Amino acid sequence: KTIAMLCNTLSKLPETSLILNADDPLVAQFEKKTGLPVVYYGLGKHEKVITTSSGVKEAKFCPLCGTKLTYAYYHYGQIGSYHCTGCGFTRPQPRVEGFQVKTDNKTANCFVCCPKGVVSLNLPVYGLYNLYNALAALTASLNLNISLTAIISALQNYIPVIGRMERYNFQGKPVFLNLVKNPAGFNEGLAALLETREKSDVFFAINDLDADGKDISWLWDVDFEKLADKEKYFNIFVCTGTRGEEMALRLKYANLPISKIKICPVQKRAVKEVLSGTGKTAFLLTTYTALWPTEKFLVKIAQKERIYEAERVPSVS
């Protein structure tokens, strides 16, 4: 229904150009379904792509004919290099493409090939999803005839909005705050944890209010099992929020040691618990309505990192 509604709306805007993610079949389908001119962006194959995906994919089947899609590789979720053997629907060649991708728990970097040449893009935020956001902004800006130099400068001075892997400092300890609201996004948040090869303390705040969605069964689609594979890097998992108990249960069934799982119903106490842990880094992952009280309390006791803020542009995410 959502796709049909979007196609119907776009059909009434004949002079519209679409900026689409070539790596997502759910998005790329809009070229054929609308007939509108399209400019694609995407990421090329890099050292961290995977050939099998254990994560839940929102598009296992071709959106045009229903045949199961085959993948040469995945970036995450259903994002990757796909092909349909039924109708030939395949990942289009992007006009703007990132390659030689490098990410750690602080930055995301790549080279970008576009009609105006090859440039280096260095983002002060973590995650492939942030690279995708940057490539989308870059592609749209080029389509508006903004200079490539201005675009790169703006992106490299980007300030993340609340909950987009914000960095804080608590008594010398790096603290990361990230919003999680679906399996794909949660899996990318977990990937940040796994990038850190040192002891960490982890906070999960899961609410089920209207803005979060009442049904939290999607937690069972998140690949928490990969935390168990690297369990030695984590001291404690503090679970809070209106569904903190269910979060703790999910971790138990992911084969994480019960001794490392703690339920703390009071959110402020949970934040204090994870920040006072013995780990060298703390990660706070929260659903939407838990994000704001977490951030409000966090700014009172920790220092938000604001590197070169005076020179940066406002968030565009």
- pLDDT of amino acid 306: 60
pLDDT score, position 187 = 87
Name which of 116, 127, 107, 125 is nearest 150 in CA terms: 116
What are the Cα distances from residue 243, in Å, to 67, 73, 204, 218, 237?
37, 35, 10, 13, 14
Chain length of the chain: 317
Q: What is the pLDDT of residue 86?
A: 96
Please tell me the predicted confidence (pLDDT) of residue 309: 41
Q: Nearest Cα to 132, choosing from 27, 284, 50?
A: 27
**List of domains in the chain:** 2-156 (3.40.1190.10), 166-304 (3.90.190.20)
How far apart CA 236 and CA 239 sit, in angstroms, is 10
How many other CB atoms sit within 10 Å of the CB of residue 276? 12
φ and ψ at residue 209, rounded to 5 degrees? -80, 175
Catalytic choice (210, 215, 223, 229):
215
Confidence at residue 124, expressed as pLDDT on a 0 to 100 scale: 81
* Predicted local distance difference test score (pLDDT) of residue 165: 76
CA 244 to chain CA mean position, Å: 22
Sign of the Cα pseudo-torsion (296, 297, 301, 303, in order):
negative
pLDDT tens for the 317 residues of the chain, in order = 788 899 889 988 988 999 999 999 999 999 999 999 999 999 999 887 887 765 555 678 999 999 999 999 998 888 999 999 999 999 999 999 999 998 876 788 999 999 999 999 998 877 788 899 999 999 999 999 999 999 999 998 877 777 677 889 999 999 999 999 888 889 888 888 887 778 999 999 999 999 888 999 999 999 999 999 889 999 999 999 999 999 999 999 999 999 999 999 999 999 999 999 999 999 999 999 999 999 999 999 998 876 434 333 333 33
What would the two tokens of residue 309 be?
């803020």
Whether 215 sits among the annotated catalytic residues: the reply is yes
So what's the pLDDT on residue 203? Answer: 97
Per-residue pLDDT at 34: 93
Smallest Cα–Cα separation from 294: which of 216, 180, 160, 183? Answer: 180
